[in-house]
Amino acid sequence: MLRYLNQSSHGRGAWLLLALTAFGLELTALWFQHVMLLKPCVMCIYERCALFGVMGAGIVGAIAPKTPLRYVALLIWIGSAIKGLSLAWEHTMIQLHPNPFVTCDFAARFPTWLPLDKWLPSVFVATGDCAERSWTLFNLSMPQWLVGIFALYLLVAVLVLIAQILRPAKRDLFGR
């Protein structure tokens, strides 16, 4: 399996698949917001940003997968997955254990050099409440699903990183 992951990380297809899955999740979020008219909260917006990080990692890895640039993509992927998992977990805890003293912000706080809420308000402006469970599937809310999604992204990223470091030896049919 490690050999397969190592070989896959040297090709564009795996990196584009990573970017495509994150892009699909972003489109799903926009569907929920603009078609189903669900209001995204601040935590939802931050989780979207983490998904954009995973998508960006896939694009960076696809640019030059046989060069050391794939290590940069791996770092972006792992960092985005960790941040997304942390945000989704915190959001899940806000929903499962509502507390008037533990709430999310009223508006997303982006750095002054990257005002995403000003540049693209239809994607990055929060209007919902973090504690509200406005959608569920199999009795799991969106942040609960995102915990699983980001955990899976992180697991695969760590396995790909291990495959890069260990570089499994090739074996022939007789184990030599």
User: Which residues are designated catalytic?
Assistant: 41, 44, 48, 104, 130
Element (H, E) at 140: strand 140-141
Residue 137 token pair: 């599937």
**H-type helices in 9-139, by residue range?**
12-34, 42-63, 69-96, 116-119, 121-124
Is 58 in contact with 17 (CB distance < 8 Å)?
A: yes
Q: Looking at residue 149, what DSSP letter applies? A: H
